[in-house]
Amino acid sequence: MSLPKNCKRITQKQQIIAEDAAAQRDFYEAFFAVYDDAFLKLLGDAPSLQLAIEKDWPFAHEAGVYFPDQDAIYITSNILQVNGKLKIKIGKITRTTNHQWQHEEIQTDVAMGNGGINYQGGVLFCDQGNKSQPGGLVLMEARPPYNTKTLISSYHWRKFTSVNDVVTHTDGSIWFTDPIYGYEQGFRQSPQLPCQVYRFDPDSGDVRVVADGFGRPNGLCFSPDEKTIYITDTDWIHGDGSRDLTRVSTVYAFDVIERHRSHFLSNRRVFAMADEGIPDGIKCDLEGNVYSGCGDGVAIWTPGGRLVGKIKIPGGVANFCFGKRGELFLLNETRFWVANIGKNVQGALLANMNIEV
């Protein structure tokens, strides 16, 4: 099968023979890597990659929350030194009428933002907190003056360590991860809780631990039918920057089961492992394919865990989000990329929220 432009086929030898595989690690241009012909059905006839914004500081690190009515994406920066203090900036990237992209900084009360999601017309940010205020889930209005409201900041009396990523369920519950990165990076107090995954019911105030046993739980998302949840463990890299190839960089899958009018997770299993860096942000499309930002771009697996392709981006992708049909926005630290693939591809997150794209 012939390949569209911007695509390169990864042969069997390049996947499994050490010398051939190692040679694929060095690349300097963005492209689509085809591991399986099933990826071509997702890419369509004319996939493209556009470097839309480039700056000299890491403005595009996490979150990636798309609002179709604004044609804009809300993002968080990586950690910055500002006037001698550690800071994370909230940003907004908007598509202009002439199809260019512009970035602006937003002044808000979110202290150290990380992951985020659309929620009640605003952006529900994971606020990692700092040494003077606890972290938690903070809802920011998606219009100036960007007022905020804290939804939760503790597991009963014990403060979260540094809430990292968040997803919602159609039953109204909010699920989020809480690894140790904020403490390791020096802007949070000593942890009062293990590295865990939580389910929060904003109506009743009930908050429960739904999964533990992680090194550093990070990204999470539901399958389109919400019968499976995918949770990444990024223990491969610690907050001090140390990396260890023998630590996990793994996507785990759990069955979501209902018992006693509540949801539990069962049948924990390895879904996939990132071969380069860590699987950070994670999303599904409506067909159940799983996408995750990794050390060499965005990896795409089938619902059965078979790697079919990658959107290869030099420097990797921490997080990303789906936009309009066939469109993905990739956060590459100092660069913001727009990937266009087949128009039949749509992100499951906004569809399950009934947000029209």
Residue 1 clears pLDDT 80, i.e. is over it: no
Q: Is 347 helix (H, G, I), strand (E, B) or coil?
A: strand
Are 195 and 170 in contact by the 8 Å Cβ rule? The answer is no
Residue 2 clears pLDDT 90, i.e. is over it: no
User: Considering the chain, what is the average pLDDT of its residues?
Assistant: 96
Residue 53 confidence (pLDDT): 98
User: What CA–CA distance (Å, rounded) separates 140 from 136?
Assistant: 13
128-187 confidence digits (pLDDT tens): 999 999 999 999 999 999 999 999 999 999 999 999 999 999 999 999 999 999 999 999
- What tokens appear for 277 in the block? 């860096």
Name the pTM for this structure: 0.97
| CA distances to 133, 199, 343 from 84, in Å | 18, 36, 46
308-334 confidence digits (pLDDT tens): 999 999 999 999 999 999 999 999 999
User: What CA–CA distance (Å, rounded) separates 176 from 193?
Assistant: 14
Residue 357 confidence (pLDDT): 87
Residue 261 confidence (pLDDT): 85
Q: What is the largest CA-CA distance in the chain?
A: 59
| CA distances to 5, 137, 158 from 191, in Å | 49, 17, 9
What's at 10, amino acid-wise?
Answer: I
Residue 59 confidence (pLDDT): 98
- Give the dihedral of Cα atoms 20, 30, 321, 167; nearest 10 deg: 30
H/E segment holding residue 14 = helix 12-16
What's at 249, amino acid-wise?
Answer: S
User: What is the 3-class SS of 190-250, one letter each residue?
Assistant: CCCCCCEEEEECCCCCCEEEEECCCCCEEEEEECCCCCEEEEEECCCECCCCCECCCCCCE
Residue 217 confidence (pLDDT): 98
Query: Where do the domains of the chain lie, and which CATH numbers do they carry?
Result: 1-46 (no CATH), 53-295+313-340+347-352 (2.120.10.30)
Which residues have CB under 8 Å from 75's CB, separation 6+?
A: 59, 60, 61, 62, 63, 64, 65, 90, 91, 92, 93, 331, 336
206-246 confidence digits (pLDDT tens): 999 999 999 999 999 999 999 999 999 999 999 999 999 99
User: What CA–CA distance (Å, rounded) separates 173 from 198?
Assistant: 10
Residue 20 burial class via C-beta count within 10 angstroms: exposed 0-12, middle 13-18, buried 19 and up: middle
Mean pLDDT, residues 53-66: 98
259-303 confidence digits (pLDDT tens): 998 899 999 999 999 999 999 999 999 999 999 999 999 999 999
From 350, 295, 300, 306, select the one nearest 324 (Cα to Cα). 350
Q: Is 41 helix (H, G, I), strand (E, B) or coil?
A: helix
Per DSSP, 302 falls in state: -
User: In this structure, what are the phi and psi dihedrals at residue 14, rounded to the nearest 5 degrees?
Assistant: -70, -15
User: What CA–CA distance (Å, rounded) separates 217 from 162?
Assistant: 11
Exposure pattern of 111-148 as b/e (b: 16+ CB <10 Å)?
A: bbbbbbbbbeebbbbbbbbbeeebbbbbbbebeeebeb
From 315, 277, 272, select the one nearest 291 (Cα to Cα). 272
User: What CA–CA distance (Å, rounded) separates 277 from 25?
Assistant: 11
